[in-house]
Amino acid sequence: MLYQLKNNVSQKCGFKIKNRGDCVRLSNMILIDSGIDLSYNTLRRFYGVVKGTKPNSRTLNTLSIYVGYSSYVDFCAAYPQKKNWDIHQKIYNSIVIDPKYALELMNDEFISPESCLELLITLIGGLTVAKNVEILKLVFNSPLLDPKRYNYSEILYLGNCVGPVFKQMETPIQEFISTKYFTPTIFNSFVDISSLNGNYGTYCKNLANKTTNKEQTLFTACIMELRKFLNNQPVRLVTSALNIKQIHPILYGRYKGVEILKKNLKHKEIYTQKFIKKIAKKKNKIDYLYEFLFACILAGEVQLLKFVQESTAHYKISKPYYQEYHYSLFELRDAIVKLKSGANISKKLIKLKNEALFRNSCRDFIELFISILDYHNSGKKRAILDIYLAKARRLNYPIFDEAYCRNYFSK
């Protein structure tokens, strides 16, 4: 609404605010009209005559009063939604002709994550299909993509909407490695584990050589070891100087999960016990489990899955957007453990196939494991094994051969 507020102010005062003199003039007019002293320096920052921060509530309220409303909240509430269509049209029309202006307009108008996110997804998707790399670079350098503007669920939503488009269009994402926000908003949230031998893996390797951020270094190291595992190569120990308090819970689970992928790791249950004990007092302990469980599933460590299931049965999921993914992964874990016990899981398989919510970035993997469960639950029917093999060929990782499926429950 900032764009419209500025426009309404200009309409009332009769001129556009472009320089210091305009700000002085407007400040005097506001004082005469409303009796409120709003300094010209504040107006200079508000109109971008000089650099400044986002306007505070007093500035917004004063300008709203000047144009006839009781407050900025009243201005926003009274402004008809259909008039926002003009703003959208200006943005879409400007994106090719003057992308810098379009981004500035979005930054001014869409000050809340809710109003900005969908337009950003549409914008990035359109530019990706058009293969307009240069404008995409502008977008990924824009404050609109600053992850500090969004919560974790919103970042995850953005990445899992935009990431598949990049993947399908074979976008040269290496072009974005030097941009300010591509890595934290897209690369880190859309972990494309089906492309570790391709575009995503190359970006990860290049980023590992470039980044100085310790958390980012840890993340790329974990991804590169996962790639080794999937390619039947020896997995090495990942180390970090960071402690558990300095690492995002989901990344910490990924970090500790790498150890589970090591074939020669002895006493895996003791290692897992220590991990569970370490996260037991954490407020968001459920977040630590997600990637750790995924590593156990990949490694075929069914006994560990059962141990974690029993040890964390009292953990609760509040189900914000991103934790719905966690819930679905736990459903997969429970199906694996139940099938290992000799039970029939036909109903669970139907639920996994039709109702579970899995991230776009790991959907191919999850479908592969559902086919493994289907194979063993059906009495090892050849037709279902063929479905597994077709999915494995699409992923194209050496570890997923016929023996992987046949022997999954033999450990």
pLDDT of residue 401: 97
Instruction: Based on the fold, state whether residues 218 and 366 are members of the same structural domain.
Output: yes
pLDDT by 10s per residue, the chain, length 411: 787 889 889 989 999 999 999 999 999 999 989 899 999 999 999 998 998 778 999 999 999 999 988 999 888 877 655 456 667 777 777 776 787 788 788 877 665 666 678 888 888 888 888 888 988 998 999 888 999 888 888 898 899 889 998 988 888 899 999 999 999 999 999 999 999 999 999 999 999 999 999 999 999 999 999 999 999 999 999 999 999 999 999 999 999 999 999 977 778 889 999 999 999 989 888 889 999 999 999 999 999 999 999 999 888 766 555 556 677 888 999 999 999 999 999 999 998 888 766 766 788 899 999 999 999 999 999 999 999 999 999 999 999 999 999 999 987
Domain interval for residue 253:
214-406
Within a domain: residue 276? yes
Instruction: Based on the fold, state whether residues 280 and 171 are members of the same structural domain.
Output: no
Within a domain: residue 197? no
Instruction: Based on the fold, state whether residues 399 and 283 are members of the same structural domain.
Output: yes
Instruction: Based on the fold, state whether residues 274 and 383 are members of the same structural domain.
Output: yes
Domain finish residue from 79, 105, 131 = 79
Instruction: Based on the fold, state whether residues 292 and 177 are members of the same structural domain.
Output: no
Domain finish residue from 79, 113, 145 = 79
Within a domain: residue 201? no
Instruction: Based on the fold, state whether residues 364 and 284 are members of the same structural domain.
Output: yes
pLDDT of residue 66: 93
Amino acid letter for position 382: R
pLDDT of residue 318: 61
Number of domains comprising the chain: 3
Within a domain: residue 207? no
Instruction: Based on the fold, state whether residues 262 and 336 are members of the same structural domain.
Output: yes
